Amino acid sequence: MTLAVPVTRTPETALAAAAVAVPPVVGARLAVPLVDGRRVGYANLDHAASAPCLEAVRDAVDELLPWYASVHRGAGFASQVSTKVYEQARAVLRHFVGARQSDAVVFTRNTTDSLNLLAKALPKNTSVVLFDTEHHAALLPWRGPRVHRIETPASPGDAVLALDTALSGCAVGPRLVVLTAASNVTGEIWPVAALAEVARRHGARVVLDAAQLAPHRPIDIRALDVDYVALSGHKLYAPFGAGALIGRADWLNAADPYLVGGGATAQVVDWGDRLGVAWSKVPERHEAGSPNVVGAHALAVACETLTRHGWDAIGEHERALLRRLRSGLATVPGLRGLSLFGPEHDRVGVVSFTIDGVEAGLAAAVLSAEHGIGVRDGAFCAHIATRRLLGRVGAREQRALRVSIGLGTTAEHVDRLVAALRSLVADGPAADYVLVDGRWTPANDPRPLPPFLREVS
């Protein structure tokens, strides 16, 4: 008779098991040089800016490249294959966000491109309501007297009440509410469903900036009751220059093409003094020019891979790392965390903070040059939100550090970061640093660039 021996599941073993369950990324064994001449494994803690490429995505791109050809207008077999790949990618994106069958899926370059496209397609006299906490991609495309900005709310409940008030004051006509799913600064999850319910009561449509949420949590347009979703491949482990705007087709069909050229035209006629043009319907209407079939395929494969591995496994991996990260950061003297809704509010794997007496840009340079750690410093393309949050914690400077985790993150990366920050606070930088074009860099930086980065003569 064999006796079953109970296995004690420690946080370390749970974290290791979760890491095995998530899809692997390219560059997991990348080594980078330090100023002291050593090389260490790269700790990429900047997933929120651009996530590494999934191995499955790289392999899929390699498989496609021999078949790469023109899309939609080629009679050759490779063109037919590329067209099939491109349109299948559209179907995958539709499924990934739970879109309605009538929704348009327009391929763009990224979330910024998607939201600018929607801004160009708004009906005349549309009132736009948004929070000033938005990333610049969602903050800046909307212009004019009918744009209403709501100041940074102190809680989810305040956000709901403020949106209700703002929509009550809008002029008669079409209305659009712009919402972030997860904050670009703090990673905190916004109460999208509750805010969408308020929008519905006022007859407004909702566009969701899902750039920071899509790599970490499932998205369902119908469950959230939003009208449009914008997302980026480079945040979704598919760094091949593709994004998407997914949502209701009527406004997009009624608008002039975002860009004009081949593909957007159904017919062009010479009328002598001018050209007569019949534009295509969506999605082709807003996809002028030769499309990025490789990027669309990469994005679709990334979406399929994340879904296939399961959001539960991805969530367990990231939650375990986030707990470890926040616990470690709590031991760093003088560290002040930034938060919209409070430190216990649900968030994806993003933590932003300042450290008393340590400039954010210098800290980021030290982490890179002396420890092989990549983080982000600055205002994270959300200047208004970042500065307001810095004011809440009494920070003296206008920049913060942002640490963001994802599928490429390990426990060792987190522990190395915490140890490096504690060392920096206690002893200062080990090397000398100078400002070059406004950024800190090691004086006479000895780190060699990779061989492929050759000097251009």
Active site residues: 381
Residues 6+ apart with CB under 8 A from 414: 45, 321, 324, 325, 328, 405
Question: 51 is written with which tokens?
Answer: 């996530």
Which residues are bridge partners to 376 per DSSP? 402
Query: In terms of DSSP H, where are the helices of 37-191?
Result: 55-64, 77-96, 111-121, 136-139, 156-168
Torsions phi, psi for 188 (to 5 deg): -70, 140
Torsions phi, psi for 453 (to 5 deg): -90, 70
- Give the Cα separation of 419 and 46 in Å (integer): 18
- Give the Cα separation of 60 and 302 in Å (integer): 10
CA atoms within 13 A on the CB side of 286: 29
Which residues are bridge partners to 230 per DSSP? 209, 245
CB of 415 within 8 A of CB of 434? no
291's enclosing H/E stretch is none
- Give the Cα separation of 242 and 90 in Å (integer): 12
CB of 248 within 8 A of CB of 205? yes
- β strands within 147-242, DSSP E: 147-150, 175-180, 205-209, 228-232
367: helix, strand or coil: helix
CB of 188 within 8 A of CB of 345? yes
Query: In terms of DSSP H, where are the helices of 248-337?
Result: 250-254, 293-309, 311-329
456: helix, strand or coil: coil
